[in-house]
Amino acid sequence: MKLNEIRENDGATRNRKRVGRGIGSGRGKTSGAGHKGQKARSGVAIKGFEGGQMPIHRRLPKRGFTNIFRKNYVEVNIGRIQSAVDAGKLDSKKPVDAAVLVEAGVISKARDGVRILAKGELKAKVELHAAGASKSAIEAVEKAGGKIVLPAPASE
């Protein structure tokens, strides 16, 4: 392949529609804008305008808010961890934290931390370091002989 031989695939690009170029073009005279009226003029900005009626975005009540400090945890089920151990991607003898899970391909991003959930079955004895875990997940991991290490709760 040479630089001068590179070209677009057939049909990948189209020529732009040239408006206002005579009757024969199919887009002559009014250039597809119709006759008169606000939309035929330049500088039209009427998104959400409902002809003088109160627009829907003003009729509906405002509710709730977005908490900008909310933590976005990645949820990992113990069944997923067991399948990674079975596949040889996780070493059950070493502590497993977010970085190890990313490296093993169990999760794609660590985000604000990992939260362990109890779906599935865990047979391997694993030490998990996580930002959070459900009570049933902690029970399931301890039943298998492992443990979940959580960060110390913030004292006020």
Q: Domain ranges in the chain?
A: 74-149
CATH code: domain 74-149 is 3.100.10.10
Tell me, what amino acid is at 114?
V
Please report the pLDDT score of residue 156 as a whole number.
63
pTM over 0.75: no
Rounded-to-integer distance, Cα 131 and Cα 114, Å: 5
Judged by DSSP in three states, 25 sits in helix
Q: What is the pLDDT along the chain (156 residues), one digit of tens a residue?
A: 899 999 999 999 999 999 999 999 999 999 999 999 888 998 887 888 888 899 999 999 999 999 999 999 999 999 999 999 999 999 989 999 999 999 999 999 999 999 999 999 999 999 999 999 999 999 999 999 999 999 988 776
Residue 31's pLDDT is: 92
At 76 the pLDDT is 95
CA distance 60 to 83: 48
